[in-house]
Amino acid sequence: MERILVTGATGQIGSELTIELRKKYGGENVIAAGHRRKPSEKLVNSGPFEYIDVTDRESVEKVVKKYDINIIYHLAAVLSAIGEEKPQLAWKVNMNGLYNVLEIAREHGLVRVFWPSSMAVFGQEAPRINTPQDAVLIPRTMYGVTKVAGELLCNYYFLRFGLDVRSVRYPGVISSETPPGGGTTDYAVEIFYDAVKNKRYTCFVREDTVLPMMYMPDCTKAAIDLMEADSSRITCRTSYNVTGMSFSAGELTSEIKRYIPEFECEYKPDFRQKIADSWPMSIDDSVAREEWGWNPTYELSVMTKDMIEKLTKRFAEGNL
Ligand code: SER
């Protein structure tokens, strides 16, 4: 039986992945763990919640023992923009957190670990269009450095200790439940909130900035599909390229204007532009498609419609 721990459960991906996992495996079998952020009512009411600090091995181990955990989805991390402001913190949380989780998984004989990597593993030396699975990895952000090092560490634990650790390289993730914090692709989420609330947004990347993105239902599907795939189908133990769609900030603005014609977007690039310019514009995820059947559902227009419907409803309820 699955006994699952989700770290970073109060974050953008964790808050929705935990709910999906609870639907599948039962609320009591999926333990949500957060650090500082207060958990939503939905999270607290649908199953157990614990506070842990992933950089403190004992606090993670205590929860693993208490709930007899055999699978960890380790999502707790510092994202790219905060990582550039606080590189030492990014290294500490991202590397020590992953190391602690892998060590606990090894020592306690856990069945499986999921850990998200990112398109931020790529740098300017990699092709930026249809970036292939095996492109050179020379990132220039601390976030990217921790993701490359993390991928190699996961691969090492698989080869050396036989730990069944699985990973995907997420592109920017767009969602309406919990806002992301401190990433470079956050503009593609903020723009929706501001469009619905204020009809205007100041975007921190240029209009022609193209980045790969994914809508949350595809994001949770990628994690669950990969974790449920038969291990014989998984040849990559660093991390798989996955993507949903690619668009520029300007194209996203035009798409939003179809639903909110008075919406206006201003472009004032800041330090995050440089990060965006070092990342892929589109991703080749054919290896994930071939090996474990990765197949995303959402493209730009369907995602935009769904985001606006969800946020408009929350705005009307006074809940945005
Ligand atoms: N969404 C992340 C960020 O912008 C990329 O993995 O930092």
pLDDT digits (tens, 9 = 90+) for 178-217: 998 899 999 999 999 999 999 999 999 999 999 999 999 9
The helix/strand/coil state of 34 is strand
Index of the ligand 1 atom closest to the CA of residue 83: 7
Residue owning the nearest CA to atom 6 of ligand 1 = 118
* Mean pLDDT within 115-119: 98
**Ligand 1: distance of its center to the CA of 28 in Å?**
30
Cα of 68 vs centre of ligand 1, distance in Å, is 32
- Give nearest CA residue, ligand 1 atom 2: 183
Mean of the per-residue pLDDT values for the chain?
Answer: 97
Per-residue pLDDT at 300 exceeds 90: yes
pLDDT given for residue 58 in this prediction: 97
Residue-wise pLDDT for 129-171, tens only, equals 999 999 999 999 999 999 999 999 999 999 999 999 999 999 9
Note the pTM of the prediction, 2 decimals.
Answer: 0.97
**With 90 as the cut, is the pLDDT of residue 320 above it?**
no
d(CA 312, ligand 1 centre) in Å: 25
Residues enclosing ligand 1, CB less than 6 A? 79-80, 118, 120, 143, 170, 172, 183-185
Contact of 137 with 279, CB cutoff 8 Å: no
The model's confidence at residue 319, banded by pLDDT at 50, 70 and 90, is confident
Give residue 55's pLDDT.
Answer: 98
What value does the mean pLDDT take over residues 17-42?
96
Task: Give how far Cα 170 sits from Cα of 67, 174, 212, Å.
Answer: 29, 11, 9
Residues present in the chain in total: 320
Give the mean model confidence (pLDDT) for residues 27-54.
Answer: 96
- Quick check: 54 and 74 in contact, CB under 8 A? yes
| Ligand 1 center from residue 118 Cα (angstroms) | 7
- 25 part of the active site: no
pLDDT at 92: 98
Our mutation pick for probing the ligand 1 site, out of 146, 168, 185, 216, counting the most ligand atoms within 8 A of Cβ, is 185
What is the Cα–Cα distance from 257 to 268, expressed in whole angstroms?
A: 19
Q: Which amino acid belongs to residue 138?
A: I
Per-residue pLDDT at 10: 97
Atom of ligand 1 nearest to the CA of 186: 4
Question: Residue 181's pLDDT is what?
Answer: 87
**What one-character DSSP code corresponds to residue 125?**
T
The pLDDT value recorded for residue 298 is: 98
How far apart are the C-alpha atoms of 94 and 54, rounded to whole Å? 9
Which position among 25, 67, 99, 143 bears the catalytic label?
Answer: 143
Can you give the pLDDT at residue 145?
A: 98
Please report where in the chains the tokens 């989780």 appear, as a residue.
101
Full set of structural domains in the chain with CATH: 4-171+214-241 (3.40.50.720), 174-213+244-281+298-316 (3.90.25)
